[in-house]
DNA sequence: GCAGCGTTAATAT
DNA sequence: TTAACGCTGC
């Protein structure tokens, strides 16, 4: 993730800091990095989409850190990834394949009964889904934590916020693990921040155009710095074989002009430089400089930096490599966390699961340790049947909970949805004694279920692909069902812990629909994309 | 000196 | 997943 070896190369500019230096300021958070770290503590539960309190640990991890920032009087602004842009498709596919391989291996180990090896592999297979991000968003809403879902890259959105004044919603620094932020020219990035707020910071203006330290960026400007990052290899474009961060730096420092660097590269490396490298390079540069971001003031998308006449004229003004433009209504719905940017489906509002309201930082820290000490809060869970809107509101916390009928005989169960597993995996897990969702329904609640499509996807809102019109139509029809579901009252099944009177410890269990999350928008063919995106947009403007 | 590869440790509790 | 380290070949 990020720029190859950039952080190592920038070591002389790294300073140890404590996040409290930003007391009274607004600080941006790259949600993906904390979601991912948080998911380590429940990787198997996340990978197998199991139900249960343990799975919500990633939420606790996240909110603990939010609490810590608030403790130091920092205003956190959480930024989520949206869809992925075309030139990142190769990177995304590679990651997806690796995760799948690890998950398959983990399942094998699990079948063999080697749970240690399995959990290690599950950790490498962890993937943050839009549903997980949405769960977090609901908690952020209830805790009044500011957030925004980027139309595409969270990094670009963070860079945009960093360019705004505080009064206009700007942020002064960013907490992340992704070195891409430096390529986006973010002014201050805190990496490797621990749970106490200690981290390592790079402030770009201490490097660019400043003499003294080595490597010196004395005659660099922001564009040259970004160019150096791309040459070294980034998520959008792998580096030319034989070129790493050091050679990239030397080329840029020597020629101080990116076009010249590309010419020299071709001269020196010849055939090794792919035919379309200069074009791909310029597109990558354009992404870092002009990525589409959400502008909260105008409530629509805009480029990170104003588009240049060259960009508007070149390639017939086709800017789809930045990710397709989105209509303002779609952009707002995505930014505010109401529309899944991968599937373009409305998120179904369902109560947060098993997550206890976060408290102030020291309190929440204490609470976490108390939970560990007492073993679990999972005993004596109950199941709420036939929930209607009013009950849902109550469980969400919008209304008091009194009067809800509950069946107290149910015990807490870890439930796995069979749809995400192969048949052999299912039977192996059953042998190991894991209960499954469907079984849970059969055993406990034969109540009718209306399915809402719940689409597993691979990144926190990433992956957009569609194979053909048929699948697009499938997406449309399931999305149509989803919008019906949000409007029509119908029986649904909830589980909630018995101790949840004042909390939001409840969960809507819903069967899974078709797996279309990875089939929206074919990235490899931008022209293909336009017509389909267009029909998606038309569809949603109707909704 | 550098890129690039493989190995290992750490991520979280 | 990545960072860090050591080794190897150019």
**Nucleic strand C within 7 A of Cβ A90:** no
% of chain A beyond a pLDDT of 70:
64
C-alpha to C-alpha distance for A217 and A220, rounded to whole angstroms: 5
Hey, CA dihedral for A386, A392, A395, A399, is it positive or negative? negative
Could you give the dihedral angle defined by the CA atoms of residues A42, A81, A63 and A510, in that order, rounded to the nearest 10 degrees?
-60
> Using omega within 30 degrees of 0 as the cis cutoff, is the peptide bond preceding A215 cis?
yes
How far in angstroms lies nucleotide C1's C1' from the CA of residue A95? 9
Contact A262, A227 (CB under 8 A): no
Is the model's pLDDT at A353 over the cut of 80? no
Phi then psi for residue A234, to 5 deg, are -135, 180
Give the residue among A360, A395, A350, A346 at the shortest CA–CA distance from A496: A395
Phi/psi for A6 (5° steps) reads: -65, -45
Nearest Cα to A306, choosing from A291, A295, A320? A291
In terms of Cβ atoms closer than 10 Å to its own Cβ (0-12, 13-18, 19+), residue A524 is exposed
**Strand C: which nucleotides have any atom within 7 A of a protein Cβ?**
1-4
The CA–C1' separation of A233 and C10, in angstroms, is 20
Point out the nucleotide closest to A102 (alpha carbon to C1′).
C1
Q: Is the CB of A98 under 7 A from strand C?
A: yes
Nucleotide nearest to A2 (CA to C1'): C2
CB contact at 8 A, A265 and A214: no
Query: pLDDT band at residue A141, thresholds of 50, 70 and 90?
Result: very high
* B3 closest protein residue (CA to C1'): A242
Helix (H) or strand (E) segment spanning residue A16 = strand A14-18
Among A126-140, A261-275, A290-304, A321-335, name the one with the lowest average pLDDT: A261-275
| Segment of A120-134, A233-247, A284-298 carrying the highest mean pLDDT | A284-298
- pLDDT value at A44 more than 80: yes
What is the full DSSP assignment across A173-201? EEE-S-THHHHTT-SEEEES--TTSEEEE
Residue A245 above 70 pLDDT? yes
Distance CA A288 to C1' C4 in A: 28
CA distance A413 to A16: 44
Predicted local confidence at residue A350, as pLDDT? 53
Evaluate if residue A259 carries a pLDDT over 70: yes
From the Cβ of A100, is strand C under 7 Å away? no
Q: What rounded mean pLDDT belongs to chain A? A: 70
Tokens coding A168: 């206009």
pLDDT at A268: 84
Categorize the per-residue pLDDT at A61 as very low, low, confident or very high, splitting at 50, 70 and 90: very high
**Which of A240-254, A428-442, A446-460, A485-499 has the lowest average pLDDT?**
A485-499
The answer to whether A124 CB sits below 7 Å from nucleic acid chain C is: yes
Residue A222 has pLDDT above 90, yes or no: yes
Distance of CA A536 to the CA centre of its chain: 22
Q: Which residue is nearest to nucleotide C10 (CA to C1')?
A: A242
A97 CB neighbours strand B below 7 A: no
Residues 6+ apart with CB under 8 A from A164: A170, A171
Please say if the pLDDT value at position A402 is more than 90: no
Strand partners for A188: A203
pLDDT, residue A17, reads 92
User: Any idea which residue has 């004042």 for tokens?
Assistant: A502
| Max mean pLDDT range (A37-46, A107-116, A324-333) | A324-333
Q: Does A140 contact strand C, using a CB cutoff of 7 Å?
A: no
Which nucleotide lies at the shortest CA–C1' distance from A96?
C1
Q: Can you tell me the distance from the alpha carbon of A473 to that of A536, in angstroms, rounded to the nearest whole number?
A: 10
* Residue A383 scores a pLDDT above 50: no
Region of poorest pLDDT, from A292-301, A312-321, A336-345, A508-517: A508-517
Q: Report the SS3 class of residue A244.
A: coil
Cα(A255)–Cα(A228) distance, integer angstroms: 11
Range in A181-185, A392-396, A477-481 with the lowest mean pLDDT: A392-396
CA gap A121, A99 in Å, rounded: 9
User: DSSP state, A98?
Assistant: H
A 166-185 residues, CB < 7 A, strand C: 177, 179
Does the CB of A199 fall within 7 Å of any strand B atom?
no
Q: Which helix (H) or strand (E) holds A147?
A: strand A146-149
| Average pLDDT value for residue range A119-137 | 88
Give the mean model confidence (pLDDT) for residues A311-331.
89
Looking at residue A459, its pLDDT comes to 39
Q: Look at residue A468 in the predicted model and tell me its pLDDT.
A: 31
Using C1' positions and the CA of A372, the closest nucleotide is B13
Is A247 within 7 A of strand B by CB distance?
A: yes
CA A477 vs CA A96, A266, A447, A474: distances in Å: 26, 50, 25, 5
Write the pLDDT tens digit of every residue in A1-12: 789 889 888 988
Residue A57 beta carbon within 7 A of nucleic strand B: yes
Residue A514 · residue A454 · CB < 8 Å: no
Q: Which segment of A18-27, A112-121, A209-218, A485-494 scores lowest on mean pLDDT?
A: A485-494
The nucleotide lying nearest A368 (C-alpha to C1') is B13
Give the C-alpha separation, A506 to A496, whole Å: 4
Predicted confidence band at A139 (pLDDT cuts at 50, 70, 90)? very high
**Nearest nucleotide, C1' to the C-alpha of A194?**
B11
Q: At what angle do helices A277-290 and A258-269 cross, to 10 degrees?
A: 150
How far apart (Å, rounded) are the C-alpha atoms in residues A298 and A266? 43
Closest of A33, A45, A49, A43 to residue A81, by C-alpha:
A33
CA atom of A423 to C1′ atom of B3, Å: 45
- Distance, CA of A242 to C1' of C8, in Å: 15
Residue A65 has pLDDT above 60, yes or no: yes
Confidence of residue A393 (pLDDT cuts 50, 70, 90): very low
Q: How confident is the model at residue A47 (pLDDT cuts 50, 70, 90)?
A: confident
Under the banding of pLDDT at 50, 70 and 90, the label for residue A90 is confident
> Residue A127: what pLDDT?
85
Protein-proximal positions, strand B, CB < 7 A: 1-4, 11-13
- Compare A95 and A403 and report the one with higher pLDDT: A95
Between the CA of A14 and the C1' of B8, what is the distance in angstroms? 25
In whole angstroms, what is the distance from residue A428 CA to residue A108 CA?
A: 9
Distance A9 CA to C7 C1' (A): 20
Q: CA–CA separation, A262 vs A267, rounded Å?
A: 9
Task: Read off the pLDDT band of A354 (50, 70, 90).
Answer: low
Quick one: pLDDT at residue A357? 53
Q: How many Å from the CA of A264 to C1' of B9?
A: 40
CB atoms within 10 A of CB A285: 19
Distance A451 CA to C4 C1' (A): 48
Residue A19 predicted with pLDDT over 80: yes
* CA neighbor of A350 nearest in space, from A87, A138, A43, A40: A138
Q: What is the pLDDT of residue A427?
A: 52
Say which nucleotide is closest to residue A179, CA to C1' distance.
C2
Protein residue with the closest CA to the C1' atom of nucleotide B2: A246
pLDDT value at residue A406: 29
Q: Which residue in A181, A180, A179 sits closest to A162, CA to CA?
A: A181
The radius of gyration computed from the CA coordinates of chain A, to the nearest angstrom, equals 24
Count the neighbouring beta carbons within 10 Å of the beta carbon of residue A300: 18
Q: Which DSSP string corresponds to A13-44?
A: GEEEEEGGGGTTSEEEEEHHHHHHHHHGGGHH
Q: Is the CB of A216 under 7 A from strand B?
A: no
Structure tokens at A381: 């869970």
Q: Among A150-159, A336-345, A459-468, which is the least confidently predicted range?
A: A459-468
- The answer to whether A209 CB is within 7 Å of strand B is no
- Separation between the CA of A269 and the C1’ of B3 (whole angstroms): 14
- Please name the nucleotide lying closest to A233, CA to C1': B3
Please tell me the distance from the alpha carbon of residue A364 to that of residue A421, in angstroms, as a whole number.
Answer: 35
Round and report the angstrom distance from CA (A36) to C1' (B12).
Answer: 10
Q: DSSP for A448-470?
A: ----------SSSS------SHH
* Cβ–Cβ under 8 Å, residues A379 and A515: no
Question: Does the nearest atom of strand C lie within 7 Å of A8's Cβ?
Answer: yes
CB A516 within 8 A of CB A475: yes
Are A324 and A315 contacting, i.e. CB atoms less than 8 angstroms apart?
no
The gap between A220 CA and C4 C1' (Å) is 28
Mean pLDDT lowest among A104-113, A417-426, A521-530? A521-530
Q: What was the pLDDT predicted at A51?
A: 80
Q: Does the pLDDT of residue A161 top 60, yes or no?
A: yes
The answer to whether the CB of A220 falls within 8 A of the CB of A255 is: no
Of all nucleotides, the one whose C1′ comes closest to residue A239's CA is B3
Question: Which residues partner with A495 through β-bridges?
Answer: A383, A507
């Amino acid at each position: 993730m990020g720029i190859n070896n950039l952080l190592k190369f920038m070591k002389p500019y790294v300073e140890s800091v404590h996040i409290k230096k930003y007391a009274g300021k607004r600080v941006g958070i790259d949600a993906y990095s904390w979601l991912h770290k948080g998911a380590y503590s429940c990787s198997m539960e996340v990978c197998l989409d199991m139900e249960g309190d343990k799975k919500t640990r990633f939420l606790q991890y996240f909110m603990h850190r939010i609490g810590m920032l608030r403790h130091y009087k920092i205003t956190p602004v959480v930024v989520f990834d949206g869809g992925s842009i075309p030139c990142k498709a190769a990177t995304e596919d590679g990651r997806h394949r690796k995760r799948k391989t690890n998950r398959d291996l983990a399942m094998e180990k699990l079948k063999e009964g080697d749970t240690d090896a399995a959990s290690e592999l599950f950790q490498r297979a962890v993937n943050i889904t839009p549903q997980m991000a949405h769960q977090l968003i609901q908690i952020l809403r209830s805790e009044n934590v500011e957030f925004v879902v980027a139309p595409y890259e969270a990094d670009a959105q963070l860079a945009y916020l960093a360019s705004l004044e505080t009064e206009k919603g700007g942020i002064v620094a960013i907490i992340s693990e992704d070195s891409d932020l430096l390529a986006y020219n973010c002014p201050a990035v805190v990496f490797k921040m621990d749970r106490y707020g200690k981290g390592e910071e790079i402030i770009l203006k201490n490097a660019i155009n400043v003499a003294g330290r080595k490597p010196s960026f004395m005659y660099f400007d922001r564009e040259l710095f970004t160019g150096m990052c791309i040459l070294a290899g980034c998520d959008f474009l792998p580096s030319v074989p034989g070129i790493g961060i050091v050679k990239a730096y030397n080329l840029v420092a020597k020629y101080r002009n990116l076009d010249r660097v590309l010419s020299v590269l071709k001269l020196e490396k010849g055939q090794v430089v792919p035919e379309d490298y200069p074009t791909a390079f310029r597109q990558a540069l354009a992404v870092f400089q002009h990525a589409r971001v959400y502008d909260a003031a105008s409530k629509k998308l805009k480029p990170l930096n104003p588009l240049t006449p060259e960009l508007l004229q070149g390639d017939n003004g086709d800017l789809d490599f930045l990710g397709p433009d989105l209509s303002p209504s779609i952009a707002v719905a995505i930014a505010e966390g109401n529309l899944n940017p991968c599937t373009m489906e409305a998120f179904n509002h369902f109560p947060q699961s098993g997550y206890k309201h976060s408290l102030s930082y020291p309190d929440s820290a204490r609470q976490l340790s108390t939970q560990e000490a007492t073993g679990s809060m999972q005993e004596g869970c109950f199941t709420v049947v036939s929930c209607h809107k009013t009950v849902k509101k109550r469980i969400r916390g919008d209304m008091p909970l009194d009067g809800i009928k509950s069946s107290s005989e149910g015990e807490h169960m870890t439930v796995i949805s069979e749809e995400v597993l192969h048949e052999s995996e299912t039977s192996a897990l059953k042998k190991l004694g894991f209960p499954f969702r469907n079984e849970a329904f059969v055993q406990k609640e034969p109540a009718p279920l209306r399915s809402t499509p719940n689409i597993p996807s691979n990144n926190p809102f990433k992956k957009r692909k569609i194979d053909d019109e048929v699948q697009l139509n499938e997406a449309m029809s399931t999305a149509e069902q989803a919008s019906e579901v949000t409007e029509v009252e119908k029986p649904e099944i909830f589980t909630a812990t018995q101790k949840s009177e004042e909390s939001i410890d409840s969960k809507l269990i819903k069967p899974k629909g078709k797996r279309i999350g990875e089939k929206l928008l074919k990235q490899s063919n931008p022209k293909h994309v336009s017509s389909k995106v267009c029909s998606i947009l038309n569809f949603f403007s109707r909704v």
